[in-house]
């Protein structure tokens, strides 16, 4: 059994968002992190691996060469293999083109009857939640989004989906694609051994040359040219004070609040 | 020095773990109860922190001294006491066996210690033998069958109440004077005749219990002897060399933690209508703190690099430990000073750092012992 985990390196949007004069995001000016929801997808895959010796976890991403460092971190967490799809031809892709390319990458690596693809729900930079479902469509796979629980029995998965007003339980056959949300689990850290060994682990880079014969790859469906989306403008929203939620009983929250105000010398 | 990618990644892991897992709740509980927190220890074990520096063939991660120093530094930056949790197995606990243990001893003891399943501590100090470790009076009498009967008392043994095993130093040949005639043993803490005293009430580093270890007619087999008989003192000194590096890294972590808290507070606290950071009296203190912290860090990394390169690092480790331990205290002092009255209150992190920092120039060789070592090398 193979589990592909789709990951994206994203700018850390908890800091300031740097914007280019043309309105697009200046990614080089912002520190990068692994997209948080993708870590939940990775954790879900690694949990399966912990329980099944024959389970292989493959982290796959499309991005610039700098994304290699993120892939090494995923190997250090416990992934068996990393695949980075990287090439100039793929640059500037929107969700439509990206899913086309990632789907081609997965097709290239091979997808068997009992395999699965796990994605994060959405990336914190674009917040579209489109790439996962589009990959499923392009590979003609069933998909279940917003998973908070995944149980596997043979080639049947029972997935609990979190919806705004309740839950939905869905059974689906492998191969299939699941998108994961943060309530699904708590991602693990890298291990020391993993960090020390990840540089020697299997790491494939797929460039345009490697994928050009894939049926999904055509010059007008990838990269900037193959992207129907146009970004009109991106900007920093007006800064509001950072909020904070207190937890506990009313009394505890009141005490906590008073202590925090005292600490800041407000009272 | 500039960290290579592997070490930078390790630093990121250690930092992430400490910042996320060492919650205020756990830190407060450690300080209030003084008791060992098993859950966080097990979590550290799960990620391989207990065996960072233990070789792979003995169940560890096979990291180097620099990796180990980074671990202790990053943990101490958030919690000095929790840095000890992951430290002992890599230094004073596992170190003596890596140094002098037989293959069988290494195979028996190191893997469970590296995995954090067993705790191994180090028992050298005695009521009458502190800096003068050669004054050891705990006696191991060899029996005709090669086994030993041990009697004596060790003091300030960190981790003894939780320990499964302990590295113990005892005099095997009383006819030899001073540091000679001392041997090193690996002791099963469950043997009849081994008992622990009451945990001490310490100024800081609360949550890693320290107590006396009492040995009354403890019968240990010949296989408990580690390395050559009567040569234990040398092993102790060599182990402490590596241990010193860890405690130097702890000093750097404490200094860094204090510096960050002081910066945060100085920008937030307003007096005379502006943040106190705008006053030169405060900002110059911050500049001194940052400079001293960075200087200590570079000494530690350099000593670690020397050790990793297999070069003689005794002098460098002593310098690092001496400087970093003192720096931690200078920086903690200033951090409390910048906080003013609030720095004296338990609610503020610097109050705990200040108490924790105080032990660093004392344990694993006082600052004065480091000065002796450094001067001794200079004047050789």
- The answer to whether residues B52 and B71 touch, using CB atoms and an 8 Å cutoff, is yes
Average pLDDT of span A241-246: 82
Helical packing angle, B5-21 and A68-77, nearest 10°: 60
Establish if B49 touches chain A: CB-CB under 8 angstroms: yes
Enumerate residues 6+ apart whose C-beta is below 8 A from A73: A34, A190, A198, B9
Establish if B63 touches chain A: CB-CB under 8 angstroms: yes
> B247-256, pLDDT tens digit by residue?
999 999 999 9
Establish if B16 touches chain A: CB-CB under 8 angstroms: yes
Query: Most A CBs within 10 Å: which of B4, B23, B47, as the mutation test of the A interface?
Result: B47
Residue A28 has pLDDT above 90, yes or no: no
Query: Most A CBs within 10 Å: which of B4, B10, B13, as the mutation test of the A interface?
Result: B13
Give me the pLDDT at residue A14, please. Answer: 74
For residue A235, what are its two tokens?
């900007």
State which residue of chain A sits closest to B12, comparing Cα positions: A190
> A35-54, pLDDT tens digit by residue?
999 999 999 999 999 999 89
Whether residue A195 and residue B5 make contact (CB cut-off 8 A), yes or no, is: no
> B3-57, pLDDT tens digit by residue?
999 999 999 999 999 999 999 999 999 999 999 999 999 999 999 999 999 999 9
How far the first Cα of chain B sits from its last, in Å, is: 30
Chain B CB contacts of A265 below 8 Å: 269-270
Give me the pLDDT at residue B159, please. Answer: 95
Confidence label for A221 from pLDDT (cuts 50, 70 and 90): confident
For residue A188, what are its two tokens?
């693990």
Residue B260, judged by CB atoms within 10 A of its CB (0-12, 13-18, 19+), counts as middle
DSSP labels, A47-80 = HHHHH-TT-EEEEEEE--GGGHHHHHHHHHHT-S
Chain A CB contacts of B17 below 8 Å: 189
> A59-68, pLDDT tens digit by residue?
999 999 999 9
Cβ of A55: how many Cβ atoms within 10 Å?
20
Q: Which top CATH class is B5-114?
A: mainly alpha
Give me the pLDDT at residue B97, please. Answer: 96
- What are the two backbone dihedrals, phi and then psi, of residue B320, each rounded to the nearest 5 degrees? -65, -45
Whether residue A192 and residue B67 make contact (CB cut-off 8 A), yes or no, is: yes
Give me the pLDDT at residue B208, please. Answer: 96
What is the residue extent of each domain of chain B? Answer: 5-114, 120-230, 234-378
Establish if B347 touches chain A: CB-CB under 8 angstroms: yes
Chain A CB contacts of B347 below 8 Å: 259, 263
Query: What value does the CA radius of gyration of chain A take, rounded to a whole number of Å?
Result: 20
- Strand segments, DSSP code E, in chain A are 2-7, 9-11, 32-34, 56-62, 81-85, 116-120, 143-153, 156-163, 166-173, 176-180, 203-206
Establish if B42 touches chain A: CB-CB under 8 angstroms: no
Residue span of the structural domain in which A178 resides = 2-221
Q: How far apart are CA B192 and CA B154, in angstroms?
A: 16
Query: What residues 254-293 of chain B have any CB closer than 8 A to a CB of chain A?
Result: 268-270
How far the first Cα of chain A sits from its last, in Å, is: 60
> Would you say residue A162 lies in a domain?
yes
Confidence label for A240 from pLDDT (cuts 50, 70 and 90): confident
- The answer to whether residues A65 and A203 touch, using CB atoms and an 8 Å cutoff, is no
Query: Most A CBs within 10 Å: which of B40, B46, B48, B57, as the mutation test of the A interface?
Result: B48
Establish if B10 touches chain A: CB-CB under 8 angstroms: yes
Chain A CB contacts of B49 below 8 Å: 192
DSSP labels, A23-42 = SSB-GGGS-EEE-HHHHHHH
Residue A25 has pLDDT above 80, yes or no: no
- The answer to whether residues A196 and B52 touch, using CB atoms and an 8 Å cutoff, is no
- The Cα of A207 is separated from the nearest Cα of chain B by a number of Å equal to 24
Residues of chain B with pLDDT under 50: none
Among the residues of chain B, which ranges form H helices?
5-21, 24-33, 38-46, 65-78, 80-87, 95-100, 103-114, 232-268, 280-308, 314-339, 349-357, 367-378
State which residue of chain A sits closest to B268, comparing Cα positions: A264
Chain B CB contacts of A191 below 8 Å: 47-48, 61
Chain A CB contacts of B56 below 8 Å: 193
Whether residue B51 and residue A189 make contact (CB cut-off 8 A), yes or no, is: no
- The Cα of B263 is separated from the nearest Cα of chain A by a number of Å equal to 14
In this complex, the residue of A72, A189, A264 whose CB is nearest that of residue B16 is A189
Give me the pLDDT at residue A12, please. Answer: 84
Q: How far apart are CA B29 and CA A23, in angstroms?
A: 49
Q: How far apart are CA A6 and CA A42, in angstroms?
A: 8
- The answer to whether residues A222 and A233 touch, using CB atoms and an 8 Å cutoff, is no
State which residue of chain B sits closest to A72, comparing Cα positions: B9
Whether residue B61 and residue A263 make contact (CB cut-off 8 A), yes or no, is: no
Q: What is the CATH number of domain B234-378?
A: 1.20.140.10
State which residue of chain B sits closest to A68, comparing Cα positions: B5
State which residue of chain A sits closest to B68, comparing Cα positions: A192
> Would you say residue A260 lies in a domain?
no
Residue A228 has pLDDT above 90, yes or no: no
Q: ipTM, 2 decimals? A: 0.88
> Would you say residue A14 lies in a domain?
yes
State which residue of chain A sits closest to B18, comparing Cα positions: A189
Whether residue A265 and residue B269 make contact (CB cut-off 8 A), yes or no, is: yes
Give me the pLDDT at residue A30, please. Answer: 83
Residue B192, judged by CB atoms within 10 A of its CB (0-12, 13-18, 19+), counts as exposed
Domain count, chain A: 1
- The Cα of B17 is separated from the nearest Cα of chain A by a number of Å equal to 7
Between A265 and B103, where is the model more confident? Answer: B103
Give me the pLDDT at residue A241, please. Answer: 76
- List residues of B with catalytic annotation: 364
Q: How far apart are CA B46 and CA B86, in angstroms?
A: 11
In this complex, the residue of B13, B51, B270 whose CB is nearest that of residue A189 is B13
* Average pLDDT over all residues of chain A: 91
Whether residue B13 and residue A259 make contact (CB cut-off 8 A), yes or no, is: no
Chain B CB contacts of A195 below 8 Å: 6, 9-10, 13
Q: How far apart are CA B184 and CA B171, in angstroms?
A: 9
In this structure, CATH architecture of domain B120-230? Beta Barrel (2.40)
Give me the pLDDT at residue A235, please. Answer: 74
> A107-164, pLDDT tens digit by residue?
999 999 999 999 999 988 878 889 999 999 999 999 999 999 999 998 899 999 999 8
> Would you say residue A246 lies in a domain?
no
For residue A177, what are its two tokens?
């694609």
Q: How far apart are CA B142 and CA B79, in angstroms?
A: 43
Query: Most B CBs within 10 Å: which of A66, A188, A195, as the mutation test of the B interface?
Result: A195
- What are the two backbone dihedrals, phi and then psi, of residue A27, each rounded to the nearest 5 degrees? -65, -30
In this complex, the residue of B9, B48, B270 whose CB is nearest that of residue A193 is B48
Between A68 and A222, where is the model more confident? Answer: A68
State which residue of chain A sits closest to B271, comparing Cα positions: A265
């Amino acid at each position: 059994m193979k589990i592909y985990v789709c990951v994206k390196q994203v700018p850390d949007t908890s800091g300031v968002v740097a914007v280019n004069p043309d309105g697009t995001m200046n990614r080089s000016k912002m520190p990068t992190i692994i997209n948080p929801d993708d870590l939940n997808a990775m954790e879900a895959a690694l949990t399966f691996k912990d329980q099944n010796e024959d389970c292989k976890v493959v982290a796959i991403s499309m991005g610039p060469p700098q994304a290699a460092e993120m892939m090494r971190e995923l190997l250090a967490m416990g992934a068996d293999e990393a695949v980075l799809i990287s090439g100039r031809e793929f640059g500037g892709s929107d969700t439509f083109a990206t899913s086309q390319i990632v789907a081609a990458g997965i097709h290239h690596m091979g997808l068997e009857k009992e395999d699965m693809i796990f994605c994060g729900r959405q990336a914190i930079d674009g917040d579209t939640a489109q790439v996962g479902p589009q990959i499923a469509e392009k590979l003609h796979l069933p998909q279940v989004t917003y998973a908070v629980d995944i149980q596997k029995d043979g080639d049947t998965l029972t997935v609990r989906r979190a919806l705004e007003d309740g839950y939905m339980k869905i059974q689906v056959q492998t191969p299939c694609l699941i998108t994961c949300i943060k309530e699904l689990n708590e991602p693990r850290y890298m291990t020391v051994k993993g960090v020390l060994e990840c540089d020697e682990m299997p790491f494939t880079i797929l460039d345009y040359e490697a994928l050009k014969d894939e049926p999904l790859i055509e010059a007008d469906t990838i990269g900037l040219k193959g992207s129907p989306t146009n970004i009109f403008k991106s900007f920093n929203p007006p800064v509001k004070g950072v909020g904070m939620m207190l937890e506990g009983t009313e009394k505890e929250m009141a005490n906590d609040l008073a202590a925090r105000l005292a600490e800041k010398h407000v009272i | 020095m500039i960290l290579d990618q592997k070490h930078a990644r390790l630093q990121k892991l250690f930092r992430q773990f400490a910042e996320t897992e060492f919650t205020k709740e756990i830190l407060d509980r450690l300080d209030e109860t003084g008791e060992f927190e098993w859950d966080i220890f097990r979590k550290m074990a799960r990620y391989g922190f207990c065996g960072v520096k233990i070789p792979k063939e003995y169940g560890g991660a096979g990291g180097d001294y620099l990796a180990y120093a980074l671990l202790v530094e990053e943990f101490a930056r958030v919690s000095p006491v929790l840095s000890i949790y992951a430290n002992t197995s890599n230094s004073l606990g596992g170190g003596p066996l890596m140094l002098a243990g037989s293959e069988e001893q290494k195979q028996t003891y190191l893997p469970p210690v590296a995995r954090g399943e067993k705790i191994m501590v180090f028992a050298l100090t005695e009521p009458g033998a502190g800096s003068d470790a050669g004054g050891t009076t705990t006696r191991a009498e060899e029996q005709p069958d090669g086994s030993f009967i041990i009697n004596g008392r060790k003091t300030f043994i960190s981790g003894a109440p939780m320990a499964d095993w302990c590295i113990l130093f005892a005099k095997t040949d009383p006819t030899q004077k001073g540091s000679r005639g001392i041997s090193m043993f690996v002791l099963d803490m469950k043997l009849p005749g081994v008992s622990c005293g009451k945990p001490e009430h310490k100024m800081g580093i609360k949550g890693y219990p320290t107590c006396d270890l009492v040995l009354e007619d403890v019968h240990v087999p010949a296989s408990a002897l580690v390395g050559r008989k009567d040569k234990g003192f040398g092993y102790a000194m060599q182990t402490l060399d590596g241990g010193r590096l860890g405690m130097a890294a702890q000093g750097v972590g404490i200094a860094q933690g204090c510096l960050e808290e002081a910066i945060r507070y100085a920008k937030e606290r307003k007096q005379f209508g502006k943040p106190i950071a705008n006053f030169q009296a405060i900002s110059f203190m911050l500049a001194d703190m940052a400079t001293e912290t960075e200087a200590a860090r570079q000494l530690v990394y350099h000593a670690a690099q020397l050790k990793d390169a297999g070069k003689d690092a005794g002098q460098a480790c002593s310098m690092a430990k001496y400087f970093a331990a003192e720096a931690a205290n200078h920086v903690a002092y200033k951090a409390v000073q910048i906080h003013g009255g609030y720095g004296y209150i338990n609610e503020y992190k610097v109050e705990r750092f200040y108490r924790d920092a105080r032990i660093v120039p004392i344990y694993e060789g006082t600052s004065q012992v480091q000065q002796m070592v450094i001067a001794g090398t200079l004047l050789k």
